Structure 1
């Protein structure tokens, strides 16, 4: 969607503040010995208290209030009581909500406990790529410049990107046009319009450039033809395109 009035602006900002609050809560609670289901139940409490709807559950019948992925899972991980976090695990929490008719989407990858240096660098690169990309979300700029920044951050730090996953428009539905690639497609000449709401996200990989869906029909992993799996880190923010500095609704 594109922001048309003050009501739209405040609606996106309110939804963005809510999902950011839940994201940070889950990150805080993610300790060794805690299950991903426990994290999801904490999110459920926040959703119900705020009168918000879980976007993946509401829009797609996802079996959880949030997507929580661990280690070689990239995204859409189903919260489970048997998935117990341990020291050094790579975790991604992805929180998206519908609140008062407006959607916002955010996510972060992090390492539980004492950091594995490679995984820590991977997570830091995901944040760097997304934050660099958000700076490209200004009116009249090329859409492809967002993906260019994400891919550049990955390459500069010795990583790659998952090319068949992307960010997206959001606002009135969880997923809207346009698709926001994590690399630059120079054939794409679309420009960003004032007020456009985007979910900008990086998918930074230790090797693979392709995501595959697991047998559960939800969970995504990254691998190659030899069956070798890669770690992937994500960072996602809901951003409003502006003439000047873009507004990040989910900081």
Structure 2
């Protein structure tokens, strides 16, 4: 069941979105060679709590971290660890969120660690563009298939694989609500988008095949072929006036 939010509830969600965005930005600024993913996780939790929030990921389904930290070929759900130390040339997807006043904000970004290869940079650039295209399509009168098509067409035109096994989602008082939001699809198909829907749109794009594999810890997902993956995500509300990004900060805003 899709839980639509009132304008007042969407307004209330903005604080969870602001905290989530600020934390992601500040943790991203700490990414550099020699830093462990556990150090980034500890920083995220400290920042979330300092802003009056609760880490949305910590304890969710038993997940131990406040961020998911996924490096290179790791697509998502990487558990932060002192033994995972970032190296020059890596890329890292950081996915995090905060709960404020019972509302959840969820966002992700993929960062370069020092100087990265041109093919990795192109993957990051295209995946970010895919996210913005998906957000732009999140308008009343469109369909979920329009969101997925916008993402898929850009990614596949660049020769990249669009992950099928994991998708975006509705969000509100629970981190994962209906509907599922695939990053692939056909125009004018699927759920009709209406004002009040709030979605986490999160393209996961691979340099090679779209196929993935679940790792032995039960959380980490990696690409099947071992080639790099990128992941970008924002929480967006569908309103009468179009998409309103909730995981954003004043002074760090990029319009859709």
**TM-score, length of structure 1 as denominator length:** 0.94
Mapped to 2, the partners of 1:167 and 1:190 lie a distance apart of 14
Asked if the contact 2:143–2:188 (Cα under 8 Å) also holds between the matched residues in 1, the reply is no
Mapped to 2, the partners of 1:218 and 1:122 lie a distance apart of 23
Mapped to 2, the partners of 1:103 and 1:216 lie a distance apart of 26
Gaps of 5+ in 2: 249-256
**Aligned counterparts, 1:84-233, within 5 A:** 84-185=85-186, 188-223=189-224, 228-233=225-230
> Is 1:248 equivalent to 2:249 in the alignment?
no
Asked if the contact 1:162–1:210 (Cα under 8 Å) also holds between the matched residues in 2, the reply is yes
Gaps of 5+ in 1: none
User: Which residue pairs with 2:232 in the alignment?
Assistant: 235
Q: How many residues align?
A: 246
User: Once the 2 structures are TM-superposed, how far is the Cα of residue 3 of structure 1 from its aligned partner?
Assistant: 1.9
Q: What value does the CA root-mean-square deviation take over the aligned residues? A: 1.4
Mapped to 1, the partners of 2:70 and 2:113 lie a distance apart of 13
**TM-score, length of structure 2 as denominator length:** 0.92
Asked if the contact 2:89–2:113 (Cα under 8 Å) also holds between the matched residues in 1, the reply is yes
User: Once the 2 structures are TM-superposed, how far is the Cα of residue 128 of structure 1 from its aligned partner?
Assistant: 0.2
Asked if the contact 2:88–2:115 (Cα under 8 Å) also holds between the matched residues in 1, the reply is yes
Mapped to 2, the partners of 1:189 and 1:156 lie a distance apart of 23
DSSP 3-state at the match of 2:107: strand
DSSP 3-state at the match of 2:65: coil
